[in-house]
Amino acid sequence: MNYKKVNISNVEVYLLKDTKFKTTKIKTILINDFNKDNFTKERLLSNFLSRSTNEYKDELSLSKRFIELYDPSIRIYDTYFKAHFKNFSLNMLNEKYTDKNITKDIIDFYFSFIFNPNFKDIKSFKENYLLSEKSLEVSYKYREEDNKFKAINNAFSLISEEAPIKYDINGNIDELKKIKEKDIIDLYNEELKNSACKIFVVGDFDSDEMVNMIRDNLNNKFINKNYDFSDYIFDKKTDLTIKEDSDNINQSILVLIYKFLGLTKDEILYTLPVFNFILGTSSSKLYRNVREKHSLAYSVYSSVNPSESYMHICAGISKENYEKAKEKILKEVDDMKKGNITDEELSSAKESFITRVKLDSDSQSNLLNLFKNYIIFDEEIDDEKIIKKVKKITINDIVNLSNKLSLDVIYFLRGDK
């Protein structure tokens, strides 16, 4: 992957030019320390920042500006991996499809969401704050209607380690009620002062012009700070937590959470995705045996989040099948540990991972995520090298990784309808 790296005012800017895209996508990430007390506040701040700027003080004037600029998309959201990442993403049409010389206006407009928030005008600040608060409240209530979300969230709250995923990283309604207007201004000021910043650009653009436009907006606003993400490893087994709740629903949900002990960087980046393709995606062991062979579930899957060193398995089942489904799932995980994996399973999983790498290069969003993940792990981004490493993975590598699994939580949301 032929990308260019430039340093501007303490900010690393990564530029990847590809003429096949009709748009250019930019992601600016502010990285700062993770604080479990700030999840809801961060979400509220991101929602508020998306709603107005110092120049365009309400949704209506903002919408009009968006349309003048051919409706670029600007999203502000939070992700976590040991640290907190505030993501500002922009997707804009190339000038071939818009007015000439509009790109500079779009980029200036985009950076105004980061550097010129609508904090000064008290009336519109209060109005936007209330709208953000209400929209967040509705989204919290809405997601609680999803039984699978509820079951997985409840299960993760029981894990043994103090990882961000233990907490509801999107925040919750109780915390929302405690937040004061001034809190989000303080949080913003604090973060802008103390954040490291990285910028990624993917699309069809002129590199020199792009760098100049970014430089004009950055203007020495960020400090030089580096985060080390390499030691995010759990090393001790902990006792298994088992919990059951019940609800007036038709389908029961079984969640098993595993912790990985002592993962290496290569395991996180390469072996773990292959492991998951074998165990828990479509046509995997869980799919074939729990769903197809025993007809116990419509939905059964495993999901690994490389940044968290945790895996969860989730199955929607009938309550009377709880013991049988649990036993079958545990057996599949046990088979992974014992090496009961066929060459065909390994080969299919490797092909699936390679396909994903190739698919990533067709999507600007996925490319930006790939950039971010590999930079976090200080790994060179090169499709060919990734594919070579994946091809070398053996059944033994999968067995070694499987034996680093430690069952942490079994959670059952029993449907009593």
Between 32 and 91, name the residue whose CB sits nearer to another protein: 91
Q: Does 416 bind another protein (CB under 8 A)?
A: no
Q: What is the 3-state secondary structure (H, E, C) of the chain?
A: CCCEEEEECCEEEEEEECCCCCEEEEEEEEEEECCHHHHHHHHHHHHHHHHCCCCCCCHHHHHHHHHHCCCCEEEEEEEEECEEEEEEEEEEECHHHCCCCCHHHHHHHHHHHHHCCCCCCHHHHHHHHHHHHHHHHHHHHHHCCCHHHHHHHHHHCCCCCCCHHHCCCCCCHHHHHHCCHHHHHHHHHHHHHHCEEEEEEEECCCHHHHHHHHHHHHCCCCCCCCCCCCCCCECCCCCCEEEEEEECCCCEEEEEEEEEECCCHHHHHHHHHHHHHHHHCCCCHHHHHHHHHCCCCCCEEEEEECCCCEEEEEEEECHHHHHHHHHHHHHHHHHHHHCCCCHHHHHHHHHHHHHHHHHHCCCHHHHHHHHHHHHHCCCCCCHHHHHHHHHCCCHHHHHHHHCCEEEEEEEEEEECC
Q: Report in angstroms how near the CB of residue 180 gets to another protein at its nearest.
A: 20
Q: Does 289 bind another protein (CB under 8 A)?
A: no
> Which of 49, 317, 329, 375 is in the footprint of another protein by CB under 8 A?
317
> Which of 295, 323, 380, 384 is in the footprint of another protein by CB under 8 A?
295
Pair of tokens at residue 170: 């999107």
Between 70 and 322, name the residue whose CB sits nearer to another protein: 70
Q: Does 9 bind another protein (CB under 8 A)?
A: no
> Which of 9, 116, 147, 154 is in the footprint of another protein by CB under 8 A?
147
Q: Does 406 bind another protein (CB under 8 A)?
A: no
Q: Report in angstroms how near the CB of residue 166 gets to another protein at its nearest.
A: 24
What's the one-letter identity of residue 243? K
Q: Does 172 bind another protein (CB under 8 A)?
A: no
Binding mask 121-140 for another protein (x = CB under 8 A): ------x---x--xx-xxx-
Q: Report in angstroms how near the CB of residue 184 gets to another protein at its nearest.
A: 19
Q: Does 181 bind another protein (CB under 8 A)?
A: no
Q: Which of residues 57-116 bind another protein (CB under 8 A)?
A: 58-60, 63-64, 66-67, 70-71, 73, 91, 93, 97-98
Contacts with another protein by CB under 8 A: the residue count is 68
Between 71 and 209, name the residue whose CB sits nearer to another protein: 71
Residue 136: is it exposed, middle or buried by C-beta count within 10 angstroms (0-12/13-18/19+)? buried
Pair of tokens at residue 386: 């990734």
> Which of 298, 327, 388, 416 is in the footprint of another protein by CB under 8 A?
298
Q: Does 250 bind another protein (CB under 8 A)?
A: yes
Torsion of CA 177, 179, 180, 184, to 10 degrees: -140
Q: Report in angstroms how near the CB of residue 109 gets to another protein at its nearest.
A: 15
> Which of 113, 119, 310, 353 is in the footprint of another protein by CB under 8 A?
353
Between 134 and 236, name the residue whose CB sits nearer to another protein: 134
Q: Does 391 bind another protein (CB under 8 A)?
A: no
> Which of 14, 34, 81, 287 is in the footprint of another protein by CB under 8 A?
287
Between 217 and 252, name the residue whose CB sits nearer to another protein: 252
Pair of tokens at residue 249: 């629903």
Contact residues: another protein, CB under 8 A: 19-23, 58-60, 63-64, 66-67, 70-71, 73, 91, 93, 97-98, 127, 131, 134-135, 137-139, 141-142, 144-147, 248-251, 277, 282-283, 287-288, 291-292, 295-299, 316-318, 344, 347-348, 350-356, 358-359, 361-364, 415
